[in-house]
Structure 1
Amino acid sequence: MKVLIADDHETARIGIRKALMTIEDVEQVVDARNGDELIEALEHERFDFLILDVSMPHFDPLITVQSIRDQYPSMFILIVSAFDDDVYVQGLLNAGVHGYHLKDQPLSDVTQAIARILSGETWVSGPLVNKLLRSTNRRSIELSPRQVDIARGLSNSLSNKEIAEELSLSIKTVENHLTRLYRQLNVNSRLEAMAYIHENSQLLGQRGQSIYKKTSSSMPLASGEVSIIVADDNQRYRRELCGIVGRNSPGATIYEAGSWRELYPLVEQVHPRLIFMDIVLGDEDGISHTRKIKQKLHDVKIVLITAYPDREFHRLGIESGALAMIDKKDLDTPTIRQILLDVID
């Protein structure tokens, strides 16, 4: 078994390495001191097990862990950290890690953790168990539209300045919103808030009636408990499309995604009935991702949208499982309403 230890503290790496040497199946141990070295090691060698400290330099834990799980699904991941916040721990477990070990617990427990994980169990250090059980009883939280905007910025690892620029707000206003958001989420730091949001992506949804401002002249659809995702990296277009969907389906819960990194956690947590998805989202194509999403959720309906209609793209999109592919200039209110009628009713 090949093991990669990623920790910026040399004493921690040495201690973990010594513990690993007592495991008969361990053949090779490689060290990484920061996030950059971790990614480089993963790109050059194949590892069976990753032991990871999440507070290293050049490392965004939640986002990177999700990416690692997507790229190396067969590799086991054990977090070894001094950070014991239950929201943060739960966020990482939901991101796909196989265990979480506290650094203040006996180092010999690392070998036990590895054995449990290899046998198919999830390992959590004893002191964390009660915290995690208590966290399952937290009250439900509903965010305002502006809080949703701020929360989405946090989930994308944006700085206060970047959030302010994206929302055309002052940095001070963003800071005030963050203070209220932390209070509402019952967390004490940016890191805890990010973990909570990643764990509870459903917080980022808004009811249709809260999105549109004017009353529609047509009768809104009776959408009930329906979740709809609008995925497009053009924020202005995405908001316009959300507004049309909300106007015609005020009872639905509507989520926004500006990247694949945002989209996949939403798909897994809210199980949408319908996704409007740009065929080009960032640097990747919507056709291959349509296929992946349909493999996970067979019943979801996906409408691919594009500013560059092409007959071959249309054929490939339909073959991948999309309900339709529509030119953005043709995606007006009557068209969206018909799609909602077909999917919801």
Structure 2
Amino acid sequence: MIKVLIADDQEMIRSSLEIILSCEDDLDVKGVAKNGVEVLEFLEREPIDIILMDIRMPVMDGVLCTKKVKKRWPQTKVIILTTFDDDDFVFSALQYGASGYLLKAGDLDTLHHAIQTVYSGGAMINPGIARKVVDLFSQRQNTPIIQVEEESVNSLSELEWDVVYEIGHGFSNKEIAKNLYLSEGTVRNYLSRILSKLHLRDRTQVAIWAVENGYIGRRS
């Protein structure tokens, strides 16, 4: 069972998500919180696998809470729930370690799939947000979020570059395996090597780095 915590300052959203997600056989909704402070207090009492985190909350917003969660409980995954006009928060939330970035208006099947994907080590970003992130990165070329040493970049093999390309386009391990005619286990091994070579924390950072530097257009 995937242990889930829902954090949103709107009671209707908290209650609706709690009721709906509790009906899924593989999910165990452990509780709800209305701000980042309550999230941290909850984690002090009980471990959680996935936090569904509203990005705009009073007392402590989702960005700062994500930073604190990932620093103290690095194994806990965060999926940010947002509206489409939260540009100022996109970069910080991803930089601090959020594994997912979804629109609140999205369908529940997508949310359930995102929880499963993030729990298994993947990343999930809404396609509309992904396109917006690409545009925003292109406007901020002089202020890169993710920096990697040139020597580390040059150490990537051609197949590792192909995996970077796929990650930069938001594909899951399963999709990458299909696209590159590899097994999922092989993809996971390549991802581990990429993270080790680039000294990055997770696939989300790889995706940000790839988009920032224009590597999503590269093919071997």
User: TM-score range, shorter-chain basis?
Assistant: 0.5 to 0.7
Say if 1:8 and 1:33, in contact at 8 Å, map to a contact too: yes
Match of 2:167 in 1: none
User: Shift in Å at residue 201 of structure 1?
Assistant: 8.9
Q: CA 1:28–1:15 in structure 2 vs 1: closer, same or farther (change >3 Å)?
A: closer
Q: CA 1:26–1:121 in structure 2 vs 1: closer, same or farther (change >3 Å)?
A: same
Q: How does 1:142-161 map to 2 (within 5 A)?
A: none
User: Shift in Å at residue 85 of structure 1?
Assistant: 3.6
Rounded to whole Å, the distance in 1 between the matches of 2:62 and 2:108 is 22
Say if 1:100 and 1:124, in contact at 8 Å, map to a contact too: yes
Say if 2:62 and 2:80, in contact at 8 Å, map to a contact too: no
Work out which of the two has the higher radius of gyration on C-alpha atoms and give 1 or 2: 1
Match of 2:47 in 1: 46
Say if 2:40 and 2:65, in contact at 8 Å, map to a contact too: no
Match of 2:17 in 1: 16
SS at match of 1:111: helix
Q: CA 1:111–1:15 in structure 2 vs 1: closer, same or farther (change >3 Å)?
A: same
Output the aligned Cα RMSD.
Answer: 2.7
Match of 2:108 in 1: 107
Rounded to whole Å, the distance in 2 between the matches of 1:104 and 1:3 is 19
SS at match of 2:138: coil
Rounded to whole Å, the distance in 2 between the matches of 1:56 and 1:96 is 18
User: Shift in Å at residue 200 of structure 1?
Assistant: 3.9
User: Shift in Å at residue 83 of structure 1?
Assistant: 4.7
Say if 1:15 and 1:107, in contact at 8 Å, map to a contact too: no
Q: CA 1:8–1:92 in structure 2 vs 1: closer, same or farther (change >3 Å)?
A: same
Rounded to whole Å, the distance in 1 between the matches of 2:70 and 2:57 is 18
User: Shift in Å at residue 88 of structure 1?
Assistant: 2.2
Q: How does 1:181-260 map to 2 (within 5 A)?
A: 200=145
Report Cα offsets for 1:11-51 as digits up to 9, x if no partner. 11122223322432223420112233222111111111111
Runs of 4+ in 1 over 6 A off after TM superposition: none
User: Shift in Å at residue 86 of structure 1?
Assistant: 4.1
Match of 1:239 in 2: none
Amino acid of the residue matched to residue 65 of structure 1? T
Q: CA 1:139–1:90 in structure 2 vs 1: closer, same or farther (change >3 Å)?
A: closer
Say if 1:7 and 1:56, in contact at 8 Å, map to a contact too: yes
Say if 1:5 and 1:31, in contact at 8 Å, map to a contact too: yes
User: Shift in Å at residue 9 of structure 1?
Assistant: 0.8
What TM-score, normalized to structure 2?
A: 0.59
Match of 1:75 in 2: 76
Amino acid of the residue matched to residue 132 of structure 1? V
Say if 1:49 and 1:75, in contact at 8 Å, map to a contact too: yes
Say if 2:100 and 2:124, in contact at 8 Å, map to a contact too: yes
Match of 1:131 in 2: 132
Rounded to whole Å, the distance in 2 between the matches of 1:40 and 1:118 is 22
Rounded to whole Å, the distance in 2 between the matches of 1:8 and 1:37 is 11
Say if 1:77 and 1:97, in contact at 8 Å, map to a contact too: yes
Q: CA 1:141–1:35 in structure 2 vs 1: closer, same or farther (change >3 Å)?
A: same
Say if 1:19 and 1:108, in contact at 8 Å, map to a contact too: no
Q: How does 1:265-304 map to 2 (within 5 A)?
A: none
Rounded to whole Å, the distance in 2 between the matches of 1:58 and 1:107 is 28
How many residue pairs get aligned? The number is: 149
Q: Does 2:99 correspond to 1:98?
A: yes
Q: Which runs of 5+ in 2 are unaligned?
A: 148-198, 201-220
Q: Which runs of 5+ in 1 are unaligned?
A: 143-198, 203-295, 298-345
Rounded to whole Å, the distance in 2 between the matches of 1:134 and 1:83 is 14
SS at match of 2:79: strand
Match of 1:314 in 2: none
Match of 1:230 in 2: none
What TM-score, normalized to structure 1?
A: 0.39
* Aligned sequence identity (%): 31
Rounded to whole Å, the distance in 1 between the matches of 2:95 and 2:85 is 16
